[in-house]
Amino acid sequence: MCAYAIGSNLAYIYLRGEFSEPGKELEKALADAYANGLLGTNLMGTGYSLDIRVHYGAGAYICGEESALLESLEGRIGQPRLKPPFPATNGLYNKPTVINNVETLANVPWIVLNGAAWYRQFGTEKSSGVKLFSVSGHVKNPGNYELPLGKYSIQDLLDMAGGSSTGRPIRAVLPAGSSSPIIPAVNFGAKLDYESMAGIGSVLGSCSFIFMDDSVDMVWAARKMIRFFKHESCGKCTPCREGTYWALKLYNKLLSGEGTLADIDMIGEVNKQIIGKCFCPLGEFATSSMTFTLKHFKQDYIDFIEKKKGGTPEYKAELARDTHGHHAQAAH
């Protein structure tokens, strides 16, 4: 429907390369559609033709950013493009292009069939419709939950997912993976819609909720996220490339047991060098893990340093594993 609306005869489904299982399902569904005359040339005698292809990325987070995705589709390294021009005018192969998440597009048939008023009965005035919540972490029943926006709270979602899987209290949640501001349990009464989440200083974003119980040390968690972003930084701009590098160095220092209270301020300084200075949102995403674990769980940092939680055999083993991993990668 989307392709028809914009008069396009070619659509791509861009899938992260690791997702080979869903990829097989997608390819089977497309083959079925071709076999039944729903894709290909002259669809149902209308004169309209459409091809849909599944394209597998090579496992880079940045290729979810729409212009990096276009670069990758065109066979170049996945790095964001300067905007404007925007993809709507100059997109794939310099043609006008619509880029949406498949979840967004999956809502369209229901709206076309039943009308906008019908769709709006779900959700709130400003956050209308339904959303898929992917729940993982310390919950009994991880999975995808489709809910109307604004009706349920974070606590309701946690309860739907069976509550804590470890029997320990849930301490916090990341509502949109590691790119989002962490939410402490005290705010779990907030409703699951865009405005309410903004009201507690976070976002709804991709709705990939990662719940963490009280065994999770936020210094450890923040380091894991920074390490991820350092690895995923595409390297195009300095604040993100160098900032995530320096941030990881600081967190490694904390984890190795050599951190000082001054390092907490230094983390804030590194953050300041990244925020608002990056070419694309990934750099900003990287700072969330530092900014918001520090905002809500600063005591974890202080305890980590004063009670010498770093430098344990477990953390040393983790650092050694990571270093080894990076060397192996560099060699590769």
Ligand X SMILES: Cc1cc2nc3c(=O)[nH]c(=O)nc-3n(C[C@H](O)[C@H](O)[C@H](O)COP(=O)(O)O)c2cc1C
Q: Which residues bind ligand SF4 (CB under 6 A)?
A: 62, 80, 233-237, 240-241, 278-280, 282-283
Residue nearest to ligand SF4 as judged by C-beta position: 240
CB closer to ligand SF4, 161 vs 286: 286
Scan residues 86-105 and list those touching ligand X (CB under 6 A). 99-101, 104
Which of 83, 87, 85 has its CA nearest to residue 73?
Answer: 87
**Residue 200 interacts with ligand X (CB under 6 A): yes or no:** no
CB closer to ligand X, 203 vs 266: 203
DSSP 63-116: GGSHHHHHHHHTTS---PPPSSSPTTTS-GGGS------HHHHHHHHHHHHH-H
Shortest Cβ 70–ligand X spacing (Å)? 10
Separation of alpha carbons 130 and 299, rounded Å: 37
CB closer to ligand SF4, 76 vs 168: 76
CA angle 241, 245, 248 (to 5 degrees): 140
For residue 253, what is the enclosing H or E element? helix 238-255
Residue range at the interface with ligand X (CB under 6 A); choices 27-35, 183-191, 277-285, 311-319? 277-285
Separation of alpha carbons 318 and 99, rounded Å: 39
Which of 243, 236, 238 has its CA nearest to residue 285?
Answer: 243
Amino acid in the structure at residue 68? A
Among 139, 280, 286, 305, binds ligand X (CB under 6 A): 280
CB closer to ligand X, 97 vs 293: 97
Shortest Cβ 81–ligand X spacing (Å)? 12
Shortest Cβ 57–ligand X spacing (Å)? 9
Separation of alpha carbons 297 and 117, rounded Å: 43
Among 62, 70, 173, 248, binds ligand X (CB under 6 A): 62
Shortest Cβ 69–ligand SF4 spacing (Å)? 13
- Tell me the torsion sign for CA atoms 230, 235, 238, 239: negative
| CA end-to-end span of the chain | 43
Shortest Cβ 103–ligand X spacing (Å)? 7
Shortest Cβ 41–ligand X spacing (Å)? 28
Amino acid in the structure at residue 130? V
> Position of tokens 């962490």?
182
**Residue 108 interacts with ligand X (CB under 6 A): yes or no:** no
CB closer to ligand X, 16 vs 249: 16
Shortest Cβ 68–ligand SF4 spacing (Å)? 8
Residues lying near ligand X in the complex (CB under 6 A) are found at 61-62, 64-66, 99-101, 104, 280-282
